[in-house]
Amino acid sequence: MAEPKTERRQVRSLPVGWTATPVPPLMGRGGPPHMRMLAKVEHAKDSRGVMLRLWGYLRRQRASLVVTALTVVATTALHLVTPYLLGIAIDRHILQGDLWGLARICLLMLSAHVASSLLSWLQVYIMAAASQRTVRDMRNDLFENLQTLSLRFFDQRAHGDLMSRLTNDMDNVSVVLAQSITQLVSGVLTLVGVVGMMLWLNPQLALISLLTTPPIMLLLTRWVGKRTRTSFREQQASLGALNGLIEETITGQRVVKAFAREQAVLAEFDGANRSLQQAATRAQTFAGFIGPMMNLVNNLGLAIVAGAGGWMAVQGMATVGTIASFINYTRQFGRPLNEIAHLYNSIQSAVAGAERVFETIDEKPELADAADAQPLTQITGQVSFDDVSFGYEVNVPVLKRVDLCAEPGQVVALVGPTGAGKTTIVNLLTRFYDIDDGRIRLDGQDIRGIKLHDLRRQLGIVLQDTFLFADSVLENIRYGRPDATDGEVIAAARLANADQFIHRLPQGYDTVLSERGSNLSQGQRQLLAIARAVLADPGILVLDEATSSVDTRTEKHIQEAMLRLMANRTSFVIAHRLSTIRKADQILVINEGEIIERGTHEELLARRGFYHHLYNSQFRADGRGQTASQASG
């Protein structure tokens, strides 16, 4: 039915940081000023709130979490029992020369290690599946909300940055949920268990160990944590900006080559790439700093415990087996602290990504159905603009007090210089933007009181730049009406004069098009766009410069198809080639956001005003040597 615009300007320099309906936006001349509308994107600073929201998604996997928790508890218990068994082996069997007892306890320790390994593998498997389901739900929510957002949101943001939130930021969250959660829980349980065992074995030695290592580690973690969170946020924002530049450059590669801008693009990419490299270096430097420092503190604590324990063993205050167990517990005490310190860095990266994801999920659509919005089924096609004013930016009007009325079945042509506001009129009719003042009516009903989906379902748009998907010809035509049969699709293609060239394609209607239909000519893409609109059978038709980029022979085929499509439909034709709209029921001449002239082709020529001048200028430019007076006569 409707055709998405292929060329959409990207905003390259973010500081940091369609609706799913058959009708796409019109972003042609006179559309929204993308670059000037760029606004600073603020990021959430509430890490606790972000973690709670992540938990809200994760807790949907209750069964997996319960099983994982049980395996974590069992694994931790097995890890805690082996040092205790080692102490018993030394005191009761090695020092006593009991080889059979030593063999039994060694077999028991081996069994504990094997069981611990199997349980560890099981918890990784279960948690990986649960985390992927969680990220799937988050990604669905993010993409679903993107479909509800108004075009103004997309005007202000680089598309590559939005893609980065769906991919890179989600990947960071996925890795942390799959690996870090179980490690964090296991580390906390291990710490609690180790402290309990140490206090049970020897309270004095336990106090010596607890008063040396943990305080230093906590201070280091707090100091590094503040810096890693900021650095990882900058890294994610830089990555999003780089993705935006990459997406824009690849999409506009034809223009880059046409203007020999390869070196300029390389320089710009190098700058963005260096920014990412610097941000990533800072983040990874702080992340890597804590590991060696934790090892140093851990080894220092181990040396203190070993020295104090040796002295106590010599004084008869502890057995050799107890000291051996204690040294193993001290190692176990340092290991989870070290892991938690490393996890803290990973979690900071995930929080930075989750902030960006939730920021987009929390965006509210500018346009939405009113509470009392009415459904719309059949229409006659009467359209009226009553004193309509609108601007893409505050205090910068694009349309000023516009009045127009299109009767059912009429062809209304919109003409005027570039940027006059022609495309904006159609953007407002489709409610891609809401008006600032006035009222737009369809069959006498304010369009703000009509359900958006129903309104847009009655509108068919054929743009100058046709958007085709990387799918078969058959499915591209069927896009405007998914329930259409193959026979109905073929019939629509015949009405659009597209059937003949489709049969010449390698697999006919089953030919898979390349991205944006680049393996077809401009005229062929236009014919498929018209076939799509024919199949959708809209009540109102919009043709935006649909023949301006094709040759005369192809234009004839397209115009024939358009005439069939326009029959008995209210049609709005945006045209620069004035020869194509001579037979329009009314022509609206728009300049600087105002309708300055209206009437038929002959009436406007007779007035010898703006349209007369525009028409004469165009024919002189075409070299036809025909004046407006001759054309009207």
> What is the per-residue pLDDT across 381-416, written as a single tens digit (0 to 9) for each?
899 999 999 988 878 888 999 999 999 988 899 988
Is 269 contained in some domain? yes
Confidence of residue 551 (pLDDT cuts 50, 70, 90): low
Can you give the pLDDT at residue 586? Answer: 92
Is 514 within a domain? no
Choose among 167, 285, 186: nearest CA to 236: 167
The average pLDDT across 136-141 equals 89
CATH number reported for the structural domain that contains residue 276 in this entry: 1.20.1560.10
Domain that holds residue 193: 59-361
- Entry pTM: 0.65
Contact 529, 5 (CB under 8 A): no
Instruction: Say whether pLDDT at 229 is over 70.
Output: no
Residue 186 domain flag: yes
Query: Mean pLDDT lowest for which of 36-45, 592-601, 622-631?
Result: 36-45
Long-range contacts of 311-315 (CB under 8 A, 24+ apart): 312/202, 312/204, 312/205
- 441-486 pLDDT per residue, tens: 998 889 888 888 888 888 888 877 777 887 888 988 888 788 889 9
**Share of residues in the chain with pLDDT > 90 (%):** 4
Quick one: pLDDT at residue 241?
A: 80
Q: Is 591 part of a structural domain of the chain? A: no
- At 389 the pLDDT is 92
Q: What mean pLDDT do residues 180-205 have?
A: 80
Number of structural domains, the chain?
Answer: 1
Averaged confidence pLDDT in the chain: 77
C-alpha span between 23 and 529 (Å, rounded): 12
> Is residue 540, in this structure, part of any structural domain at all?
no
- pLDDT grade, residue 23 (50/70/90)? very low
Most trustworthy range by pLDDT among 44-48, 252-256, 581-585, 629-633: 581-585
Sign of CA dihedral 560, 564, 565, 568: positive
Q: What is the pLDDT of residue 16?
A: 33
Kindly report the backbone phi and psi dihedral angles of residue 590, in degrees, each rounded to the nearest multiple of 5, phi listed first.
-110, 135
pLDDT at position 4 over 60:
no
Q: pLDDT confidence of 11, banded at 50, 70, 90?
A: very low
b/e map of 516-543 (b: 16 or more CB within 10 Å)? bbeebebbbbbbbbbbbbbbbbbbbbbb
In a domain, 158, yes or no: yes
Is pLDDT at 44 greater than 60 in this prediction?
no
Over residues 214-235, the mean pLDDT reads 71
pLDDT band at 500 (very low <50, low <70, confident <90, very high): confident
Look at residue 141 and give its three-state secondary structure. Answer: helix
Q: Which pLDDT value is given to residue 336?
A: 76
Q: What is the pLDDT of residues 501-539, one digit of tens each?
A: 889 888 888 988 876 667 788 778 888 888 888 888 888
Q: Which of 460, 558, 473 is nearest to 24 (CA)?
A: 460
What's the whole-number mean pLDDT along residues 12-27?
A: 37
**What pLDDT score does 307 carry?**
75
Query: Is 251 inside a domain boundary?
Result: yes
Task: Please indicate whether residue 216 or residue 43 has the higher confidence score (pLDDT).
Answer: 216
